[in-house]
Amino acid sequence: MSDFAKIQSSPSGVAGTSHGTRSAARWLLSKIMGGIFVLWAVFTAIFFGLRMIPGDPAQAIMGGPGSQASAEALAAAREQYGLDQPLYVQYFAQLWRLVQGDLGTSYSLKSPVVEVLAELLPPTLILAGLALLVAWAMALVLAVLSTRSGAVGVALGSGLEIISAAVPHFWLASVLIMLFSTMLGWLPPVSTNTPAGLVLPIITLALPLAGFMGQVMRDSMAEAQRSAFALSARARGESETGVLLRHSLRHGALGGIALSGWALGSLLSGAVVVESIFARPGLGRSLLSAVTARDIPLVTGVALFSAAAYVLIMAFSDLAERLVDPRIGRS
């Protein structure tokens, strides 16, 4: 529907509601279609990508490195998993199963991929969720403190943020283990089910993220501090801290919210490294071992799940922005 038609069909405010509903429906439809396209593209890329790498999936099914599978055993494995079919047959057969919600059976874990995902999702979500909260807290504290303490504080805070944002997870994890487990003996180096076992993995994931978010937040806050409403608040006699906490902080937080969708994506990829180093069960570690073992169904499953989660999160943050700021979507 063109803008011209929209104007024609909504001469009054009443008709505007039905226009809004239709617009929302169209928005939803475009999101769903876009999401389906993304999932199909991810599936196709993974399907052909994994097969272009040399090596025999049947060998992977048979225990992979170190085991010399017999011809009979390999043939049986090929037949069982349909690997003896031509590639295009395998592709469409898998695509059809996928449409029906069947992600197949993991080669390496010998159980349905859906079950594996259901089992490994909660530990990863707990880790990523807590890391996001901690990153938020760290970023807010850093942004507020550094903004309050003037130019030197900003420079210092900014420097700290850049350093923490640039630190790779595996390096941070190794240093944290050395410091807090080996030298000080305060925290376990492997992730156990106790709260203490979660501390190092959470810090490892949260610190680089806090660096990114702190940067964005402080920029938004600094902008707000210079704005007209901050000036008028000061004119009303608000203290500098009051202006910062009551007014500018919200703007800073908005900058952080916009980043949270991206943040969750980066947390999922960070989980690959962190879960491996801290020997914690989860989606990221299973992806790493699945890629190593050429476990095509599991790699496909994890990738599709991540893509779906990303599509959903982006849709939600888009929706949230439209709700918070009515100007978006009207123009």
109 binds other proteins (CB under 8 A): yes
b/e string for 77-108 if b means 16 or more Cβ within 10 A?
Answer: bbeebebeeeeeebbeebeeebeeeebbbbbb
52 binds other proteins (CB under 8 A): no
Stretch of 133-141, 252-260, 295-303, 315-323 lying at the interface with other proteins (CB under 8 A): 295-303
User: Tell me, what DSSP letter sits at residue 167?
Assistant: S
Nearer Cβ to other proteins (136/278): 278
Which residues are registered as beta bridge partners of 105?
Answer: 112
- CA separation for the pair 134, 208 (Å, rounded): 11
67 binds other proteins (CB under 8 A): yes
Q: Which of 65, 86, 150, 326 binds other proteins (CB under 8 A)?
A: 65
Task: State the number of binding residues for other proteins (CB under 8 A).
Answer: 73
Q: Which of 303, 304, 311, 314 binds other proteins (CB under 8 A)?
A: 303
56 binds other proteins (CB under 8 A): yes
Nearer Cβ to other proteins (161/275): 275
Nearer Cβ to other proteins (55/242): 55
Shortest distance (Å) from residue 48 CB to other proteins: 13
* Residues 235-274 close enough to bind other proteins by CB under 8 A: 268-269, 272-273
Nearer Cβ to other proteins (191/215): 191
Helix (H) or strand (E) holding 108: none
Question: Phi, psi (5° rounding) for residue 105?
Answer: -115, 135
82 binds other proteins (CB under 8 A): no
Residue type, 303: A
Q: Which of 119, 219, 238, 321 binds other proteins (CB under 8 A)?
A: 119
Cα–Cα nearest to 165, from 111, 199, 215, 109: 215
Stretch of 113-121, 149-157, 204-212, 248-256 lying at the interface with other proteins (CB under 8 A): 113-121
User: How is 294-323 classified by DSSP, letter by letter?
Assistant: T-HHHHHHHHHHHHHHHHHHHHHHHHHHHH
- CA separation for the pair 158, 178 (Å, rounded): 27
